[in-house]
Amino acid sequence: MFNCDEHAAYSACALAFRDRLILEWNRTQQRQTYADSKRLYYLSLEFLMGRALDNAMLNIGQKDVAKAGLAELGFRIEDIIEQEHDAALGNGGLGRLAACFLDSLASLNLPAWGYGLRYRYGIFKQEIIDGYQVEVPDYWLDFNPWEFPRHDVTVDIQFYGHVNRSQGASGKTTAHWEGGEMVRAVAFDVPIPGYATTTTNNLRLWSSKAASGEFDFQKFNSGDYESSVADQQRAETISAVLYPNDNLDRGKELRLKQQYFWVAASLYDIVRRFKKSKRAWSEFPEQVAIQLNDTHPTLAIVELQRILVDLEGLEWDDAWNIVVNTFGYTNHTVLPEALEKWSVGLFQHLLPRHLQIIYDINLFFLQSVERAFPNDRELLARVSIIEESQPKMVRMAFLAIVGSHKVNGVAELHSDLIKTTIFKDFVSIFGPDKFTNVTNGITPRRWLHQANPRLSDLIASKVGGNDFLTDLTKLNGIELFVNDKQFRKEWAEIKHANKIRLANLIKETSGVIVNPSSLFDVQVKRIHEYKRQQLNIFGVIHRYLTLKAMSPEERQKQLPRVSIFGGKAAPGYWMAKQIIHLINSVGGVVNNDKEIGDLLKVVFVEDYNVSKAEIITPASDISEHISTAGTEASGTSNMKFVLNGGLIIGTCDGANIEITREVGENNIFLFGNLAEDVEDLRHAHTYGSHTIDPDLAKVFAAIEEGMFGSTEDFSGMITAVRDHGDFYLVSDDFHSYIETQALVDEAYRDQEEWVTKCITSVSRMGFFSSDRCISEYAEGIWNIEPLHVERDA
């Protein structure tokens, strides 16, 4: 055979499965068009898909065939799968949730499309150099067999310009948005195969290019070559790069351009499809449901109103009824710094007609509030879509609420919090029924079957096959085997094998050698002060100091632990970068301390992404979900870790609370202050005396003595806690955290009991399937039903 290397084998394999997908994809789309039933459109600026080949093989049910075929050619299937570049078009939780949702929508045979942007550069690749994060561009499109350019599907999108009004024969004035510049949106389609079904849905990603084609020929011919290329590049810039901020709004003009570009192209597409059915406009919400993944696509509300009023000539109120009944809005955060606002001036410049429509939406909304709550000027100011600040700002979350028929949070606590804090006034105005909860979920296909095949097979052998992968509540069948010796033994062996696999990854990527028999303690997620990686690393330092203070005999009795961190910091987030640096500096000292040996290792896994998560998640003994109570809307990795037979140390926050309800209080390690007490504690820091926990003070002293190198670099992290109000309550929770970590050690020593806790927990995780979650959306918000696609005989 001529030179067929691993990459060539990957291409061959991907192209073969892709052919199969194309067939089912075409059939699904034809069937959906023919049935003409209601469809869901999921608008998300982020889809954190990870790799596609393994998922495609498993969903089609042909992985074994591929494995045998590749083996015949002398390849290991794992090596071939690893050739693929992650599709990393997202930052973290919100983007990965969108990917899990696509998997569930297809697996449940629901007619649904995703709409997003085809970024040329996904989330940056993280390198750790001298302990610091360095960002490297992620150019992922070299060879991507999973996308299909649709040069026949394009939309020209307008920006800037001005608005003219004219009076028609009927005396009605219409607005005309004129002038400005055009950018062309080109569709790229990605097939989304369901698991064990022929349904293959579509994810449509838009790419930008100059509307005039390759060059502006007029400029080109008049000799202005450079500027014609510059125009082309300017247009392509729109879809060039994913903004790497997670839960942090920076208000950049290009980001607003991205949002409008994507929203306008998607709506044009959706409306075009609806118009083919020749139905009355009033039927639009019976055919179309659009879900807004956070406020990033909120402009869709304004754009649909514009299409209906300006272009299709509907009356304002009729159009508005259609709009509100079409949209649903999911909120993913209560953090004020993540709530999107755009200045009125920027809107006026970029989208002049949309600003007018927003003002009108706001006017009619405020009038209705005024009627219901007369003489409450403060209420009007509080709920106005326009914030009367300097400069004036458009509050996107308020616009999303006013323009949607349902608003949901992503875990019970979070949904309660938005109703009682940031959106309180809107509950009074619209009534409580508009606000609801849909607790997040994860797809068991990727996060159990694919990431942890041995555990998945062991479970299947006890619950009567793979049906649990489509009905995760069937997991409870394994509780019967919790005392079965052989089952427990295999269970423990699988965890150990997964830990060896992670130990190998750690060795390859960071050079640190860890003992797989140690307790693996994992915190992997975006680096953010509210997620409190600083609490974790301060705890690690405390452990190190405690070990150092022990006699050798006492030390020998301690339980060996590996603290594993991973996650990216937004490039402009200075404090998050300092946290990464401290973790690496602590690792540098601890890992080389001969006295300590295997008792404590500290590793930072560079470039945490979906594919690394698939290796890390199944290898965890205890994972950390330790956000300040009330700050983490849900969390989804908490679900993944427990589903893979790991336990959790966590605060009473987000979905941790519901996980506790399901698995039982004895099977989770909760600590720290409650959300309801956070406000008072913060108040006390600012106005009362703020005492630092004495153990934490010792940790600070060690850092300040230079135990981990440059004290300057870490002083910001210390003063944030000690001198600047400790907004995230690190000091308040430190003692409780340390005590609870001691309980973890104690529990882990009793391996029999530990395994019982793990098996029991997994058996009770059925609730957290994204299938359950998507079914709740389908029934309670979208009103859509499954559509089965027949397989050819």
Interface residues toward ligand 26Y, by CB under 6 A: 91-94, 97, 243, 245-249, 294, 332-333, 338, 340, 410, 440, 632-636, 654
Q: How far apart are CB 653 and ligand 26Y at their closest, in Å?
A: 9
Q: How far apart are CB 440 and ligand 26Y at their closest, in Å?
A: 5
State the DSSP H helix or E strand holding residue 227, giving kind and residue range, or none if neither: helix 225-237
Q: Active-site residue 625, yes or no?
A: no
Q: Are 161 and 71 in contact (CB under 8 A)?
A: no
Q: How far apart are CB 743 and ligand 26Y at their closest, in Å?
A: 25
Q: How far apart are CB 636 and ligand 26Y at their closest, in Å?
A: 5
Q: Name the residue nearer to ligand 26Y (CB basis): 350 or 429.
A: 350
**Collapsed DSSP state (helix, strand, coil) of residue 589:** helix
Q: Active-site residue 594, yes or no?
A: no
Q: Name the residue nearer to ligand 26Y (CB basis): 340 or 606.
A: 340
Determine how many CB atoms are found less than 10 A away from the CB of residue 725: 15
Q: How far apart are CB 243 and ligand 26Y at their closest, in Å?
A: 6
Longest dimension (CA), the chain: 96
In single-letter form, the type of residue at position 325 comes to N
Question: DSSP secondary-structure letter at 778?
Answer: I
Q: Name the residue nearer to ligand 26Y (CB basis): 331 or 498.
A: 331
Q: Name the residue nearer to ligand 26Y (CB basis): 100 or 478.
A: 100
Q: Active-site residue 499, yes or no?
A: no
Q: Are 650 and 536 in contact (CB under 8 A)?
A: no
Q: Which long-range contacts (CB under 8 A, 24 or more apart) does 358-366 make?
A: 358/302, 358/385, 358/386, 358/394, 358/399, 359/386, 360/316, 361/301, 361/302, 361/305, 361/320, 361/385, 361/399, 361/402, 361/403, 362/386, 362/402, 364/316, 364/320, 365/402
**Collapsed DSSP state (helix, strand, coil) of residue 274:** helix
Catalytic entry in 204, 640, 757, 764: 640
Q: Name the residue nearer to ligand 26Y (CB basis): 84 or 653.
A: 653
Q: How far apart are CB 250 and ligand 26Y at their closest, in Å?
A: 6
Length of the chain, in residues: 793
Q: Active-site residue 414, yes or no?
A: no
Q: Quick one: tokens of 525?
A: 């997620």
Q: How far apart are CB 93 and ligand 26Y at their closest, in Å?
A: 3
Determine how many CB atoms are found less than 10 A away from the CB of residue 215: 15
Q: Active-site residue 640, yes or no?
A: yes
Q: How far apart are CB 389 and ligand 26Y at their closest, in Å?
A: 18
Q: Find tokens 């806790």 and name the residue.
A: 757
Q: Quick one: tokens of 163?
A: 């608005």
Residue 463, C-beta contacts closer than 8 angstroms, at least 6 positions apart: 474, 475, 477, 478
Q: Name the residue nearer to ligand 26Y (CB basis): 101 or 487.
A: 101
Catalytic entry in 51, 120, 332, 601: 332
Q: Are 138 and 121 in contact (CB under 8 A)?
A: yes
Q: Name the residue nearer to ligand 26Y (CB basis): 262 or 468.
A: 262
Nearest residue to 298 via CA among 38, 39, 43, 96:
43
- Nearest 10 degrees: Cα torsion 767, 773, 779, 781: 140
Q: Find tokens 């809307």 and name the residue.
A: 633
Q: How far apart are CB 526 and ligand 26Y at their closest, in Å?
A: 8
Catalytic entry in 395, 495, 526, 528: 526
- The number of C-alpha atoms within 13 Å of 570 and in the hemisphere containing its C-beta is 18
In single-letter form, the type of residue at position 479 comes to E
Q: Name the residue nearer to ligand 26Y (CB basis): 32 or 437.
A: 437
Q: Which residue is nearest to ligand 26Y (CB)?
A: 93
Catalytic entry in 636, 740, 757, 764: 636
Q: Name the residue nearer to ligand 26Y (CB basis): 193 or 630.
A: 630
Q: Name the residue nearer to ligand 26Y (CB basis): 93 or 114.
A: 93
Q: Active-site residue 20, yes or no?
A: no
How far lies 60's CA from each of 17, 29, 248, 295, in Å? Answer: 9, 17, 39, 34
Catalytic entry in 525, 612, 625, 764: 525
Please tell me the distance from the alpha carbon of residue 137 to that of residue 720, in angstroms, as a whole number.
Answer: 31
Beta bridge partners of residue 416, listed in sequence order: none
Q: How far apart are CB 504 and ligand 26Y at their closest, in Å?
A: 29
Cis peptide before 453 (omega within 30 of 0): no
Phi, psi torsion values for 162, nearest 5 degrees: -145, 170
User: Between β-strands 288-293 and 39-43, what pairing exists: parallel, antiparallel or unpaired?
Assistant: parallel
Residue 236, C-beta contacts closer than 8 angstroms, at least 6 positions apart: 120, 208, 209, 210
Please tell me the distance from the alpha carbon of residue 636 to that of residue 451, in angstroms, as a whole number.
Answer: 15
Residue 485, C-beta contacts closer than 8 angstroms, at least 6 positions apart: none
Determine how many CB atoms are found less than 10 A away from the CB of residue 689: 6
Active centre residues (catalytic): 332, 525-526, 531, 636, 640
